[in-house]
Structure 1
Amino acid sequence: MHLTFRHATVDDAPLLSEMGPCTYRHHFAHLWRREEELNDFIAAEYSVAALQQSLSAVGTRWLIAEAERPAGFAKISWRKPVPEQTYTGALLHKLYLMPGETGKGYGEQFWQAILREARAENERWLWLEVLEANAGARRFYDARGMKMLTQTIFSSATQQSVLFVMGKALDEHA
């Protein structure tokens, strides 16, 4: 099935507030040691108020992917300094598909949409952080030419997780 993509607006905050916790819990809940920390993280990321602020921020774009219904979303910021590098690029904060929407070729369609968006903003680099423990996502990004640049740590009150910083130059053929 083919996805359509649209730029999210502040009016989409309630939709993203439903989709965000659903996708995040589905893909990452098993990595959290304490349920209350997971709940706090999700509330900070996906409350309607937090999403409204992010959706109206200059230099940030949210995409919603739709098939017969919303299938996923992405968040991208423009001209963000790449860690330990001397240049900036488009930072892909989030690329999440709803439970039941993986394995349909949607990831590749979403990836191509993200590349189009970044190129339209005249970005020369795309970069992201991916959990070391998320082997499936790392394979996905590796297969699309993303290279390991460095690593960093995500910390919560009681745990730490390694994040791989991956990036790639955006030329016209990638």
Structure 2
Amino acid sequence: MITIREADSRDIDALQAIGCATYREHFSSIWTAEGIQQFLDQDFSLHTLRDSLATKSEHLWLLALDEQQHPIGFAKLNWARPTPGSGIPGAELQKIYLLKSQAGKGHGRRLLEHVLQRATDAGEPCLWLDVLKSNIGAQRFYASAGLRQVGEVPFNTDLEQIGMWVMACDLPGRSNRLSPRSPL
């Protein structure tokens, strides 16, 4: 069983370490060594993390801890972000990462369920994310939680042009803005 709690400035080192480790574990094949390092230096810099944690009105960082309270993953939500293709505002699940050693234990499902509940509690009409077109496993995972493909956005690394699917779901208690009739 994992514990999920809101991250704060005391967690910067843990977020940086997990962010860099998990991104390398999952995505090193789509970057050169130099390219991935530049990406990580920008995305998980202490300055970037500090700024993001300080703007709670815009971002929510959740930290997943194992039974011994060691960090094993995290999620980052951005509030009221327009869904690509439609502009419908919702909670963007920008990041959800778990260490590969924690895969298959149900932790990812628990973290995603927590994210969905937090977005619902915040009054967001929908939750959306983007996922690499080549990441079939992640697409199945999100689809099993009720998200569906509603669009696509470009994504390039220093090695290739990959592209991403935008996946989204309406949240309980809100109008079905992402219904099949929606212009997404």
Specify if TM > 0.5.
Answer: yes
Aligned twin of 2:161: 160
- Gaps of at least 5 residues in structure 2 are 174-184
Aligned to 1:111: 112
Does the alignment pair 1:20 with 2:19?
yes
Q: What amino acid maps onto 1:44 in structure 2?
A: Q
Match of 1:141 in 2: 142
The secondary structure found in structure 2 opposite 1:41 is helix
TM-score by length of 1: 0.93
Q: CA deviation at 1:99?
A: 2.4
Question: Which has a greater percent of strand?
Answer: 1
**CA distance in structure 2 between the partners assigned to 1:24 and 1:92 by the alignment:** 16
Question: SS of 1:13's equivalent?
Answer: helix
- In 2, distance between residues paired with 1:86 and 1:40? 30
Tell me how far apart the structure 1 counterparts of residues 162 and 140 of structure 2 sit (CA, whole Å).
Answer: 18
SS in 1 for 2:163: strand
Q: In 2, Cα distance between the equivalents of 1:131 and 1:56? A: 28
Distance 1:121 1:74 in 2: 16
Q: CA deviation at 1:159?
A: 3.0
Instruction: Give 1:43-82 correspondences, 5 Å limit.
Output: 43-57=41-55, 58-67=57-66, 68=68, 69-82=70-83
Q: Which residue is equivalent to 1:41?
A: 39
Counterpart Cα distance in 1 of 2:25 and 2:39: 14
Instruction: Name the aligned partner's letter for residue 26 of structure 1.
Output: E
Cα deviations by residue, 1:8-59 (Å, 9 ceiling, x for unpaired):
1122111111111100000110122x21111100111111111111111231
Work out the CA distance in 1 between the residues paired with 2:30 and 2:156.
12
Mapping 1:63-102, distance limit 5 Å: 63-67=62-66, 68=68, 69-102=70-103
2-side partners of 1:116 and 1:146: how far apart?
14
| CA displacement 1:94-128 (0-9 Å, x = unmatched) | 11001201110111111111011101111110000
Aligned to 1:31: 30
Separation in 1, partners of 2:25, 2:47: 23
Instruction: Give the secondary structure class of the aligned counterpart of 1:5.
Output: strand
Q: Distance in 2 between matches of 1:17 and 1:117?
A: 23
The residue aligned with 1:123 is 124
CA distance in 2, matches of 1:6, 1:168: 23
- The alignment partner of 1:161 has SS state of coil
Is the Cα–Cα contact under 8 Å of residues 30 and 157 in structure 2 kept in the other structure? Answer: no
Percent sequence identity over aligned pairs: 35
